[in-house]
A and B are shown apart, each in its own frame.
Chain A
């Protein structure tokens, strides 16, 4: 196996791996923004640059193949300076005011004061506490206090039901484009032609709603607060919600999800990035179809029929009645006069328990479910 020098350590690698992959495999952290694992590397943001001996410029680790005997420095002063410049540029290019919140308003620039007036900016950025750009700004000690930020002239797309696209916080990384085109293969975000510099009025990944399935893969991929979920807006920031892993309740694919829970409510769903079988993907139902559980129309207590209507009952009363009636019917007409339909949506343990009730207690095999729909 070929080897190379990574921060003065000799490590081996497989031909075809990128510098980023070799670093990750050796627990060396290189920051990334535009890199999306399942898509082709664009080398667009350049935050992942590293120093390679013999090369006169810094090279993007995500897009550069590892070579035998390369000597790589991932955190040299030159690398840090370059990264810092990129972060400064990105912060200045948009309405990123999250890190200002700890500073007195007297130190804010005019543009920064104006940000608060814009739609969806009355609350702190929805990505706060879970934003790659913010993390990097903190790590590389880039301050935004008092700088002039470009807050005007960015498009805002908040007309669709699920996702708000606030391009004033878009860093142009292109991950949403790749998530849509290469991961979900929906081709709903045509790539703006060329590089950011070629678009003096802004480089914005706008959506073609003809093809959009509202799967939210772009949302999952966005490293900043540019794309966020409308109905979760303002409900919790980064670490406030607890994450619970579960399985999607809709189709037979069985996607793995994180439920974001705060105050006994599920406020958002994201995909488990590396989890099988869905590897970080969800569809519109899995990602946005969670709030039915908190609907005010839920059944909250047992009901017993009285003529044409129902009245509330206690569990004891309702269950006694069910047991009594079923016993009676069994006595008069035999156990096969009872029948039940189980639920193909509910957990295994429920179906097991229901068939056990019918077989062991009622003494009939009249148990089925909608296996066929």
Chain B
């Protein structure tokens, strides 16, 4: 059985969705929890349309039912987890009747869903950004892990908590330590031994001891002078970050901004230096997918003009600052540095990646790779720890002035800000403009026709966009993507962040809709 929560898989991860649909056609069961009635719902035995941002209340209530009715996996809980009592105490505060009010679904639905989830093993839980892009994103994730531990669905094939990664190499960028708190392989920068290890490997006397800043803090820092030199590699922050107006002000405040990219875009406008990079098929290298599979990327054509591989550019800057780095190709960087320094990757060498790649952890060169983590209840830190969390509402909730909730995501034919897909022949013909998806009920109340141009506004900005009246979205919700600049949802989104991960709340802010055409 599958539980898909907060993930519009058929559009955001289309090929993963095909395997799920195949399984359903062969008789697997599927439950979809999502405010929107998206395509996958057609394949589900049950669609639970909870309100945007009510995931924790919903999951806690499921767990309350599982415990009260004795449906949880007590053997797994006893032998493989700790802090069950804390969980029990916390979820006791979420009886279905109470959760129903928060989630906008009936108490009976919650009970039936809990029973259905407990009836089959294994249960595979998949989520995406519908879970993480909230002010309570981190708590959402730990709550889903609690649920799977309670059901005893950890450490087995077709079980577990499976995040589907948004961008192709988010997994890899994390593994590589492009994060303010860890070196490659998740070794903490605050750990003196780890610092010593990397200082030696990199031939430097010492390494900085404090965790660094996360993106939202960097952006803030640009306006208050804390950050003065800013280096943006391959991200179009001016369109992808919430509240475009604010972001552009921040970028314009940078004392010295370097952008390294393959196209000029809204962000490079603010740069002092723009460095032209080689693109995907002009490089040798590796990507790591959502299942931690390291696969090869190969050179098919030469970069245009003087564009150069990114790793070369970084190496050249290091050289100009007195550091001679030995590795002189992606292969040497991987084989001689990354796979030596990151324990999970020690067994992965380019020579072993010719076919279908390898999944980490892969500790030595004989190791076949690892398909699923936490086998037989083995967690990285010993026993699985229940980490109960309380539900908190989104930072901005609808009110009289802005009565609707805006939620955002991506659409099938395009990718992010279209710097790439917008330049592929034909893809713009399949989807040529942004729309604001609204429910039949709201369209009727507002007197909006399908296809009519409307104004969507929030406390931060407004966009003019075509209305798409659809039964996919529930009443009270507006759904948009961020593929097109003019009608980009991020003119509207709220720069409110999860306190731990600083992930922005792209999935909920308050907006209003006004007609443009005189009636």
User: In whole angstroms, how far apart are the Cα atoms of A366 and B165 in the complex?
Assistant: 23
CB pair A290–B231 under 8 Å, yes or no, is no
A291, A294, A321, A322 interface centre (most CB from chain B within 10 Å): A322
Interface string of B299-328 (1 = CB under 8 A from A): 111101111111101111110110101000
Decide yes or no whether B412 CB sits under 8 A from chain A: yes
CB pair B273–A293 under 8 Å, yes or no, is no
Q: A213-B412, A244-B300 are in contact. List 17 more A-B contacts (CB 8 A).
A: A182-B22, A251-B167, A285-B412, A285-B413, A290-B424, A294-B304, A315-B316, A321-B273, A322-B273, A326-B321, A336-B226, A339-B231, A344-B166, A351-B169, A354-B178, A367-B180, A372-B133
Residues from chain A with a CB closer than 8 A to the CB of B275 are 302, 318-319, 322
Binding-face segment, A23-31, A139-147, A272-280: A272-280
How near does chain B come to A348, taking the closest CB pair, in angstroms? 4
How near does chain A come to B193, taking the closest CB pair, in angstroms? 16
User: In whole angstroms, how far apart are the Cα atoms of A363 and B173 in the complex?
Assistant: 19
CB pair B232–A341 under 8 Å, yes or no, is yes
Decide yes or no whether B99 CB sits under 8 A from chain A: no
Q: Please list 21 pairs of residues, one from A and one from B, whose beta carbons are closer than 8 Å in the complex, sorted by A's number.
A: A185-B43, A244-B281, A245-B296, A266-B300, A277-B291, A283-B412, A285-B421, A289-B415, A289-B420, A293-B301, A299-B274, A315-B308, A315-B316, A336-B212, A342-B173, A342-B178, A344-B172, A347-B285, A350-B309, A371-B173, A371-B179
Decide yes or no whether A303 CB sits under 8 A from chain B: yes
User: In whole angstroms, how far apart are the Cα atoms of A347 and B430 in the complex?
Assistant: 28
CB pair A289–B421 under 8 Å, yes or no, is yes
Interface string of B60-100 (1 = CB under 8 A from A): 00000000000000000000000000000000000000000
Decide yes or no whether B3 CB sits under 8 A from chain A: no
User: In whole angstroms, how far apart are the Cα atoms of A373 and B315 in the complex?
Assistant: 28
A185, A246, A286, A372 interface centre (most CB from chain B within 10 Å): A372
Decide yes or no whether A310 CB sits under 8 A from chain B: yes
CB pair A244–B310 under 8 Å, yes or no, is no
User: In whole angstroms, how far apart are the Cα atoms of A372 and B501 in the complex?
Assistant: 8
Could you tell me which residues of chain A, from 166 to 222, have a CB within 8 Å of some CB in chain B?
182-185, 213-215
Could you tell me which residues of chain A, from 33 to 48, have a CB within 8 Å of some CB in chain B?
38
Residues from chain B with a CB closer than 8 A to the CB of A336 are 208, 212-213, 226-227
Decide yes or no whether A156 CB sits under 8 A from chain B: no
CB pair A319–B356 under 8 Å, yes or no, is no
Contact for B306 among A292, A300, A335, A362, CB less than 8 A: A300
Contact for A305 among B25, B272, B427, CB less than 8 A: B272
With contact pairs A251-B165, A299-B262, A349-B338 given, residues A355 and B176 touching in the complex (Cβ less than 8 Å): yes
With contact pairs A288-B424, A318-B273, A366-B213 given, residues A335 and B208 touching in the complex (Cβ less than 8 Å): yes
CB pair A350–B311 under 8 Å, yes or no, is yes
With contact pairs A293-B279, A301-B305, A357-B317 given, residues A252 and B231 touching in the complex (Cβ less than 8 Å): no
Interface string of A254-274 (1 = CB under 8 A from B): 111001010011100000000
User: In whole angstroms, how far apart are the Cα atoms of A351 and B333 in the complex?
Assistant: 11
Binding-face segment, B7-15, B46-54, B112-120, B441-449: B7-15
How near does chain A come to B451, taking the closest CB pair, in angstroms? 17
Interface string of A114-151 (1 = CB under 8 A from B): 00000000000000000000000000000000000000
Decide yes or no whether A53 CB sits under 8 A from chain B: no
CB pair B305–A300 under 8 Å, yes or no, is yes
Residues from chain B with a CB closer than 8 A to the CB of A365 are 180-181, 189, 208, 210-212
User: In whole angstroms, how far apart are the Cα atoms of A352 and B212 in the complex?
Assistant: 16
Residues from chain A with a CB closer than 8 A to the CB of B240 are 370, 373
How near does chain B come to A181, taking the closest CB pair, in angstroms? 9
Interface string of B218-250 (1 = CB under 8 A from A): 100100011111111111010010000000000
CB pair A302–B306 under 8 Å, yes or no, is yes
Residues from chain B with a CB closer than 8 A to the CB of A369 are 170, 173-174, 178-179, 215, 235
B contacts, CB < 8 Å to A: 10, 12-16, 18, 21-22, 25, 43, 129, 132-133, 137, 164-181, 183-184, 189, 198-199, 202, 204, 207-208, 210-215, 218, 221, 225-235, 237, 240, 255-256, 258, 261-264, 271-277, 279-283, 285-291, 293-302, 304-311, 313-318, 320-321, 323, 325, 330, 333-334, 337-338, 355-357, 412-416, 419-427, 429-430, 501-504, 506
CB pair B169–A344 under 8 Å, yes or no, is yes
CB pair A339–B14 under 8 Å, yes or no, is no
Contact for B280 among A38, A162, A183, A293, CB less than 8 A: A293
Report the nearest B residue to A326, measured CB to CB: B229
Decide yes or no whether A320 CB sits under 8 A from chain B: yes
Residues from chain B with a CB closer than 8 A to the CB of A361 are 317-318, 321, 323
User: In whole angstroms, how far apart are the Cα atoms of A153 and B189 in the complex?
Assistant: 71
CB pair A372–B502 under 8 Å, yes or no, is yes
CB pair B15–A255 under 8 Å, yes or no, is yes
How near does chain B come to A214, taking the closest CB pair, in angstroms? 6
Report the nearest B residue to A263, measured CB to CB: B301
User: In whole angstroms, how far apart are the Cα atoms of A227 and B189 in the complex?
Assistant: 54
CB pair A264–B274 under 8 Å, yes or no, is no
User: In whole angstroms, how far apart are the Cα atoms of A373 and B216 in the complex?
Assistant: 13
CB pair A184–B333 under 8 Å, yes or no, is no
How near does chain A come to B384, taking the closest CB pair, in angstroms? 23
How near does chain B come to A31, taking the closest CB pair, in angstroms? 27
User: In whole angstroms, how far apart are the Cα atoms of A347 and B183 in the complex?
Assistant: 17
CB pair B272–A366 under 8 Å, yes or no, is no
CB pair A291–B423 under 8 Å, yes or no, is yes
User: In whole angstroms, how far apart are the Cα atoms of A275 and B356 in the complex?
Assistant: 6
Decide yes or no whether A68 CB sits under 8 A from chain B: no
CB pair A251–B12 under 8 Å, yes or no, is yes
User: In whole angstroms, how far apart are the Cα atoms of A302 and B261 in the complex?
Assistant: 10
CB pair A301–B420 under 8 Å, yes or no, is no
CB pair A292–B178 under 8 Å, yes or no, is no
CB pair A320–B276 under 8 Å, yes or no, is no
CB pair B286–A319 under 8 Å, yes or no, is no
User: In whole angstroms, how far apart are the Cα atoms of A356 and B21 in the complex?
Assistant: 42
With contact pairs A215-B14, A300-B276, A369-B178 given, residues A349 and B311 touching in the complex (Cβ less than 8 Å): yes
User: In whole angstroms, how far apart are the Cα atoms of A37 and B223 in the complex?
Assistant: 59
Residues from chain B with a CB closer than 8 A to the CB of A288 are 424, 426-427
Residues from chain B with a CB closer than 8 A to the CB of A162 are 426, 430
Contact for B424 among A291, A310, A342, A368, CB less than 8 A: A291
With contact pairs A276-B293, A310-B274, A351-B172 given, residues A252 and B13 touching in the complex (Cβ less than 8 Å): yes
User: In whole angstroms, how far apart are the Cα atoms of A329 and B254 in the complex?
Assistant: 12
User: In whole angstroms, how far apart are the Cα atoms of A300 and B296 in the complex?
Assistant: 25
Contact for A252 among B18, B164, B176, B301, CB less than 8 A: B164
Residues from chain B with a CB closer than 8 A to the CB of A322 are 258, 273, 275, 317, 320
CB pair B423–A297 under 8 Å, yes or no, is yes
A244, A354, A366 interface centre (most CB from chain B within 10 Å): A366
Residues from chain A with a CB closer than 8 A to the CB of B226 are 336-337
Residues from chain A with a CB closer than 8 A to the CB of B420 are 249, 289, 292
Residues from chain B with a CB closer than 8 A to the CB of A339 are 212-213, 218, 221, 227, 229-231
Contact for B314 among A284, A333, A357, CB less than 8 A: A357
CB pair B298–A353 under 8 Å, yes or no, is no
Residues from chain A with a CB closer than 8 A to the CB of B315 are 353
CB pair B287–A214 under 8 Å, yes or no, is no
User: In whole angstroms, how far apart are the Cα atoms of A353 and B133 in the complex?
Assistant: 28
CB pair B273–A244 under 8 Å, yes or no, is no
Residues from chain A with a CB closer than 8 A to the CB of B184 are 352, 355
How near does chain B come to A221, taking the closest CB pair, in angstroms? 13
